[in-house]
Structure 1
Amino acid sequence: MIADITLLRADITKVAADAIVNAANSSLLGGGGVDGAIHRAGGPSLLEECREIRRTRFPDGMPAGDAVATTAGLLPAQWVIHTVGPVWSTRDDRSAVLESAYRRSLEVAGELGAASVVFPAVSAGVYGWPADDAARIAVETVLGSGFDGAVSFALFSDAMLGSFRSALAVQNRKPEGFRAE
């Protein structure tokens, strides 16, 4: 059972945790948004590890819904868990893929022995997933995961923070904490 869920209005690259989740693209080589910020803050060793993963495990790119870990480089964490969320579609229901991105990230965290994990709002930035639905899927998946540690969501706007608060309220849960960083 999840020990607690904390909502943060924060830059994920500055949040200390055992594992920080990167909303990556399938190349694993950086990009915009959270992915680019994590790669810039993590430094060159993070990029080198991702290049090796691409070379050895995912030569065609990591599929959406999967997750893989690297060390965290210069970030205030031990590991970065890279997950690829789906792009929002009005024609195809890709909710199961978004659920898988959260679930696989927590499975990888468990394999690493991570006791604390910080997520961004996966797929809710440049991938266009509507904030309220992205928050609902994130909260439901994390609460149902069986992960036995602390989970935080580092959110980039007050509006996204509100979406996550609402998603927790629907589950009759209050965040264990809130802080702005």
Structure 2
Amino acid sequence: MSMESRPGVTAGVKADLENTDFGAAAARIQRRLKQRNTPLNVAITGESGSGKSTFINAFRGIGDEDEGAAPTGVVETTSQVTPYPHPKYPSVILWDLPGIGTTRFPADEYLKLVGFEKFDFFIIISDPRFRENDVKLAQEIQRMKKKFYFLQSKVDKDIRAAKRTRREFNVERTLSTIRKNCAQ
């Protein structure tokens, strides 16, 4: 029985990710994997600059400047598909994929260039909003009958901007609006 067909495991991972408790999500996945001792290859994908490498470092519980961290920067830094095993749960391997839609990884060749079919699970990261390439990735993942999550990064910037521009700012209402947009 795969993790995808275990509602309790999937729901728990989803709740952990929604609460940004990456360590708990990794631990939950690892407990399930220990039962089968099977690696889980998680592709972290999205457009260049969306925060994929920063997410990988946060998920692994390390800083961007720590040894073994995924390189981050203000320019395109990920130029090849790179594995990053979780330090506590080595069966969970996060794969840092180059950004889709760059000159080196055009959208129409992206899936082939990164070997999209070899991954078990996907996290599509977008900043600041989901775009056409994000939808295309989701559609391809669904076509492969695999699971994915959308993750909108840099929400803190959206909240700060909303706070500056709205007289009647409400953080919960702003987050609710962002969540509804993601669901759509």
* Interval containing the TM-score (normalised by the shorter chain): 0.3 to 0.5
Rg (Cα) greater in structure: 2
> Which one has a larger percent helix, Structure 1 or Structure 2?
2
Q: TM-score, normalised by structure 1?
A: 0.37
TM-score normalised per structure 2? 0.37
Larger RCO: 1 or 2 (CA < 8 Å, sep 6+): 1
